[in-house]
């Protein structure tokens, strides 16, 4: 089957040709014809299936067929990366048409996005939170909306966006076409579809139960404390040219990236604590080959379209089989082959059994003959809880001292000299260095294990500034 059989406008076919899409993917074959006819569509499709073109192509075609006042189509999607990616795909597919589009997501200025509303772009691709921010303003009107698309609806549910989506739905015209894409169909999503869709064409409703063919998967059993060393050993293999490495938490992603950098592996972390600019730079660097490794958390990496991933390494074994299938689906996309390796500590063995049950086969266990599985490791990715709490307390105590100083400076108060040091605790003299440095906060006064300050009761050397009680609240309560 070729794209010409769908009856697309010639300018759309030119865009498809530029992208070198030769044949439609299964989800495109099933979803495009009913969507072209204006029917609602409910499709179970995961990232990598070609779902983006499955909803963009009929949307572009339908909007080209008659005039209207934008935004005429709205794509709701869970993450900024996905929004940016869909927008890029739209620009490519619609490059020879007059259909315009804009991405609306958080972490960047509202101004250009407001401009997109005011200039009535045809297709808006938005994350729910930022879209709601715009909807508080009169310029954000969807009166001319013809098509609504929900992309990765199950992920939006996981991320807690369901209430936001319902709020958005209230301001959309009831008379519209709705295209609904979700990798899985949990009950809440099923419920939402029954409210939203009118007599939909339902596609591939069986759950995706196995990763794409062409992916070689293996389990690497290893004690938890040796995961970093084993990963280094694995990376000696030069075939691992572009690797996405998944960790359980953002902190582990950061620490693993630091560790790898110290061992001269070019890598970059990507997760929810990083700014939009940092994430964009990380993706661009990974795509261009500047970084060999992208160290990612699930949420950050979901849906990112990177075609040339040679390997996925699960540094931490996912708890859910769906997450595993999604992660390893990052490789082996668009018919390429890829490898997916999972490092599994004894504590994670039960997760492997869940995954194996879901994919219906036992995964091979691999050990590296040259790796010493009995050695000790000094590398720690987890900072013990007590140590983390102590660091937070110390930071907060230093912040309090700084705030006090600022308040005093603002009130013009000149403190008496500090009886121990002879320095003032505020003002433009050396006292600032003293207090802001290591002698600030709990280091200055000390604190017990529960964080209660051991500062002497009468230890104030100057009157409290305004707001003092707030800043001086004992810690650990
Ligand atoms: P998606 O599932 O929409 O994230 O698409 C995954 C990747 O497949 C993207 O890089 C698309 O550009 C690509 N793609 C989509 N449709 C086709 C097609 N018919 N032929 C080849 N590649 C495609």
- pLDDT per residue as tens digits for the range 143-158: 999 999 999 998 888 7
Residues of the domain holding 248: 215-382
- Does any ligand 1 atom lie closer than 6 A to the CB of residue 25? yes
Q: Of 80-94, 183-197, 255-269, 365-379, which range is least confident?
A: 365-379
% residues pLDDT > 70 (the chain): 78
Domain annotation covers residue 36: yes
Q: Are residues 197 and 117 in the same domain?
A: yes
The pick from 53, 92, 95 for probing ligand 1's pocket by mutation, whose C-beta has the most ligand atoms within 8 angstroms, reads 53
Of 166-170, 190-194, 272-276, 391-395, the range with the highest mean pLDDT is 166-170
Domain annotation covers residue 84: yes
> Which atom of ligand 1 is closest in space to residue 92's alpha carbon?
12
Ligand 1 atom 18 nearest Cα = 21
- Does any ligand 1 atom lie closer than 6 A to the CB of residue 32? no
Q: What is the pLDDT of residue 263?
A: 94
Q: Are residues 26 and 86 in the same domain?
A: yes
- Span 128-140, mean pLDDT? 96
- Span 27-40, mean pLDDT? 94
Task: Choose one of 203, 223, 250: the last residue of a domain.
Answer: 203
Q: How confident is the model at residue 424 (pLDDT cuts 50, 70, 90)?
A: very low
Q: Are residues 159 and 250 in the same domain?
A: no
- Does any ligand 1 atom lie closer than 6 A to the CB of residue 50? yes
Q: Are residues 48 and 123 in the same domain?
A: yes
Q: Are residues 35 and 144 in the same domain?
A: yes
Q: Are residues 199 and 223 in the same domain?
A: no
Q: How far is CA 455 from CA 82, 162, 167, 444, 445, in A?
A: 51, 48, 50, 8, 5
- Span 73-94, mean pLDDT? 94
- pLDDT per residue as tens digits for the range 115-125: 999 999 999 99
In 226-337, at which residue ranges do the beta strands (DSSP E only) sit?
243-246, 267-270, 293-296, 311-314
Q: Are residues 28 and 116 in the same domain?
A: yes
pLDDT surpasses 50 at 443: no
Domain annotation covers residue 400: no
Domain annotation covers residue 28: yes
The DSSP letter of residue 212 is: P
What ranges in 418-473 are assigned the alpha helix state H? 431-436, 441-445, 468-471
Domain annotation covers residue 230: yes
- Does any ligand 1 atom lie closer than 6 A to the CB of residue 21? yes
Cα distance between residue 323 and residue 127, in whole Å: 21
Tell me which residue of 294, 285, 302 sits closest to 79, measured CA to CA.
302
Q: What is the pLDDT of residue 449?
A: 35
Ligand 1 atom 22 nearest Cα = 21
Q: What is the pLDDT of residue 438?
A: 33
Task: Choose one of 347, 382, 417: the last residue of a domain.
Answer: 382
Q: Are residues 67 and 189 in the same domain?
A: yes
Domain annotation covers residue 123: yes
Cα distance between residue 327 and residue 256, in whole Å: 18
Of 239-248, 320-329, 375-384, the range with the highest mean pLDDT is 239-248
Cα distance between residue 85 and residue 24, in whole Å: 19
pLDDT surpasses 60 at 475: no
Cα distance between residue 95 and residue 98, in whole Å: 8
Q: What is the pLDDT of residue 50?
A: 85
Ligand 1 atom 6 nearest Cα = 48
Q: Are residues 248 and 185 in the same domain?
A: no
Domain annotation covers residue 448: no
Tell me how many domains the chain contains.
2
- pLDDT per residue as tens digits for the range 371-398: 888 887 766 776 667 777 888 888 888 8
- Span 126-132, mean pLDDT? 96
Tell me which residue of 82, 39, 87 sits closest to 62, measured CA to CA.
39
Q: How confident is the model at residue 36 (pLDDT cuts 50, 70, 90)?
A: very high
Domain annotation covers residue 356: yes
Cα distance between residue 244 and residue 292, in whole Å: 9
- pLDDT per residue as tens digits for the range 447-459: 333 333 333 333 3
Q: Are residues 178 and 304 in the same domain?
A: no
Q: Are residues 61 and 177 in the same domain?
A: yes
Ligand 1 atom 11 nearest Cα = 50
Contact predicate 184/202, CB 8 Å: no
> Which atom of ligand 1 is closest in space to residue 307's alpha carbon?
10
Tell me which residue of 55, 86, 250 sits closest to 148, measured CA to CA.
55
DSSP secondary structure of 450-464: T--B---TT---SPP
> Which atom of ligand 1 is closest in space to residue 89's alpha carbon?
12
Cα distance between residue 303 and residue 76, in whole Å: 13
Q: What is the pLDDT of residue 139?
A: 96
CA 288 from chain centre, in angstroms, equals 20
Ligand 1 atom 13 nearest Cα = 50
- Does any ligand 1 atom lie closer than 6 A to the CB of residue 447? no
CATH of the domain at 274: 3.40.50.300
Q: How confident is the model at residue 462 (pLDDT cuts 50, 70, 90)?
A: very low
- Span 125-139, mean pLDDT? 96
Cα distance between residue 325 and residue 132, in whole Å: 32
Q: Are residues 108 and 175 in the same domain?
A: yes
The pick from 25, 85, 214 for probing ligand 1's pocket by mutation, whose C-beta has the most ligand atoms within 8 angstroms, reads 25
- Does any ligand 1 atom lie closer than 6 A to the CB of residue 48? yes
- Does any ligand 1 atom lie closer than 6 A to the CB of residue 51? yes
Task: Choose one of 340, 367, 382: the last residue of a domain.
Answer: 382
């Amino acid at each position: 089957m070729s794209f010409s059989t769908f009856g697309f406008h010639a300018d759309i076919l030119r865009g498809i040709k530029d992208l070198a899409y030769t044949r439609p993917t299964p989800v495109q074959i099933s979803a495009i014809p009913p969507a072209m006819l204006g029917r609602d569509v409910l499709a179970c499709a995961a990232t990598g299936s070609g779902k983006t073109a499955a909803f963009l192509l009929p949307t572009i075609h339908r909007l080209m067929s008659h005039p209207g006042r934008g935004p005429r189509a709205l794509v709701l999607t869970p993450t900024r990366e996905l929004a940016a990616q869909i927008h890029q795909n739209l620009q490519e597919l619609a490059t020879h048409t007059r259909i315009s589009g804009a991405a609306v997501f958080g972490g960047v200025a509202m101004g250009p996005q407001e401009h997109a509303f005011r200039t009535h772009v045809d297709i808006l691709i938005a994350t729910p939170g930022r879209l709601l921010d715009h909807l508080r303003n009169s310029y954000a009107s969807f009166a001319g909306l013809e098509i609504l698309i929900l992309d990765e609806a199950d992920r939006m549910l996981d991320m807690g966006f369901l209430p936001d989506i319902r709020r958005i739905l209230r301001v959309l015209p009831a008379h519209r076409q709705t295209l609904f894409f979700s990798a899985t169909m949990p009950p809440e999503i099923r419920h939402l579809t029954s409210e939203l869709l009118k007599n939909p064409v339902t596609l591939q409703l069986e759950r995706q139960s196995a990763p794409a063919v062409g992916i070689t998967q293996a389990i690497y059993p290893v004690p938890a404390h040796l995961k970093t060393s084993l990963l280094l050993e694995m990376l000696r293999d030069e075939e691992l040219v572009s690797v996405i490495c998944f960790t359980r938490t953002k902190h582990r992603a950061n620490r693993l990236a630091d560790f790898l950098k110290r061992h001269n592996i070019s890598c970059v972390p990507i997760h929810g604590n990083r700014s939009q600019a940092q994430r964009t730079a990380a993706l661009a660097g990974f795509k261009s080959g500047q970084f060999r490794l992208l160290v990612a958390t699930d949420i950050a990496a979901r849906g990112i379209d990177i075609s040339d991933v040679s390997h996925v390494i699960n540094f931490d074994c996912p708890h859910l089989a769906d997450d595993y299938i999604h992660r390893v689906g990052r490789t082996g996309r668009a018919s390429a082959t890829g490898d997916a390796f999972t490092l599994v500590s004894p504590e994670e063995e039960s997760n492997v059994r869940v995954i194996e049950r879901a994919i219906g086969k036992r995964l091979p266990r691999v050990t590296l003959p040259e790796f010493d599985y009995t050695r000790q490791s000094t590398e720690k990715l987890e900072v013990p809880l007590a140590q983390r709490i102590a660091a937070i307390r110390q930071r907060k105590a230093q912040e309090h001292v700084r705030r006090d100083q600022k308040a005093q400076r603002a009130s013009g108060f000149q403190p008496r000299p500090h009886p121990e040091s002879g320095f003032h605790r505020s003002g433009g003299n050396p006292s600032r260095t003293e207090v802001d440095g290591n002698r600030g906060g709990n280091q200055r006064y000390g604190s017990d294990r529960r964080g209660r300050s051991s500062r002497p009761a009468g230890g104030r050397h100057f009157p409290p500034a305004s707001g003092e009680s707030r800043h001086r609240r004992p810690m650990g309560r």
